[in-house]
Amino acid sequence: MSARRRVKPSLYISVDIEADGPIPGPYSMISLGAAVAGVQDADGFTPADPEERTFYRELRPISQEFVPEALAVSGLDRGRLWTEGAEPGVAMAEFSAWVREVSAGAQAVMCGYPASYDWTFLYWYLIRFTGASPFGHSGCLDMKTLYATKARLPLRAVAKGTMPRELLSTRRHTHHALDDAIEQAELFANLMAWPGQQLTETC
């Protein structure tokens, strides 16, 4: 068997989080949504139905601090989350178990747009409340970087508005963590199938 055939598949999970501030610790992750986007093996990428395997939790805040503008983005009510939100340790243990279940036989990779903000909260919460990450310490793929590389653009020149329309999901970006995780899973599948821009192409 060739080395190419021995490559362990990657199971890509689109993750979106909503938070009430810029960094975890002083501020809280208040919701978490995830959707299986597809699997990649030595033969290529196979997209999944992003609505088929999903995860969603709303979490109890971990501090009294919050940035009103950040909280307003999600539309979630902190008062309700204090009484009805899942205890973070329980929610993160449930999420880890779900990731391990859906990625059985493959290596789980978190993907996000952009991944940096969501990964910062996700990884911090996983280590803080469960002591481990089902993605390891580096199983993270940034869709913005993926697009910039294929489009041959500087990263800071990239926004969804600059992308070819056929790459974008037809779903609305609602700032509900599960809605957005599903939307971004479709974007990811489209990006994986897209051959990219050629050097000879013009805008």
Active-site annotation, residues? 175
200 burial (CB, 10 Å; 0-12 / 13-18 / 19+) is exposed
CA distances from 93 to 86, 87, 134 (A): 11, 10, 10
Q: Among candidates 83, 109, 88, 101, which has minimal Cα distance to 9? A: 109
**Cβ(18)–Cβ(34) below 8 Å:** no
Q: What type of residue is 74?
A: S
Secondary structure E strands in the chain: 10-19, 29-41, 44-47, 54-58, 107-112, 140-142
The CA–CA distances, whole Å, from 157 to 50, 148, 162, 191, 200 equal 28, 8, 8, 17, 19
Instruction: Give the Cα separation of 20 and 87 in Å (integer).
Output: 16
Taking the C-alpha atoms of residue 32 and residue 95, their distance in angstroms, rounded to an integer, is 9
DSSP states along 8-40: PPEEEEEEEEEESSSSBTTB-EEEEEEEEEEEE
